[in-house]
Amino acid sequence: MISPERLSLLENKFNQRGILFILLGRHLVGLRAQIFLVSGVLRMPTQKFLLADGLSSIFTMAVMVGAGYLGGNSLNALRKDISRVEHLGILILVAALAVYLIFRYAKPMKKGSLP
């Protein structure tokens, strides 16, 4: 699927910036598994991979724990905001449905005719 020249280029880039790919790739949900597979296929050293993945997971855990702490302290305010957003979302959906039905089933008037 990939030419040997491109594979060699990819391997060189991954050897140069592999840690950066792991650090960023861990946070990209659609690419997480692929980056981990590529690091194995391109024979990234195990210690280097574990170090990069460990540093990245420490950052992830700090952000998630901080978000949980901040969210837990203001749970009542969040509930109020969420209910407002839900009501607004329902209102937008009803309005969009009304507009769709009007355009879908309203008969166009001919020029010069009265309704």
Report the pLDDT value the prediction gives residue 95, as an integer from 0 to 100. Answer: 94
What pLDDT score does 97 carry? 94
One domain, residues 7 and 48: yes
Q: How far apart are CA 49 and CA 63, in angstroms?
A: 21
The answer to whether the pTM exceeds 0.85 is no
- Are residues 30 and 83 both part of a single domain? no
SS3 assignment, position 26:
coil
Residues 80 and 28 in one domain: no
Contact criterion met (CB below 8 Å) for 26 and 57: yes
How many domains does the structure of the chain reveal?
2
Q: Which domain holds residue 96?
A: 76-105
Q: Quote the pLDDT of residue 99.
A: 92
Are 25 and 60 within 8 A, CB to CB? no
Left (φ > 0), alpha (ψ -120 to 50) or beta: where does 107 sit?
beta
- The identity of residue 65, as a single letter, is V
**Do 63 and 9 belong together in one domain?**
yes
Between CA 50 and CA 22 the distance in angstroms is 10
Looking at residue 96, its pLDDT comes to 94
Tell me what pLDDT residue 86 has: 82
Amino acid at 64: M
Give burial (CB, 10 Å; 0-12/13-18/19+) of 22. Answer: buried
Within-domain flag for 26:
yes
Question: In the chain, which stretches have pLDDT less than 50?
Answer: none
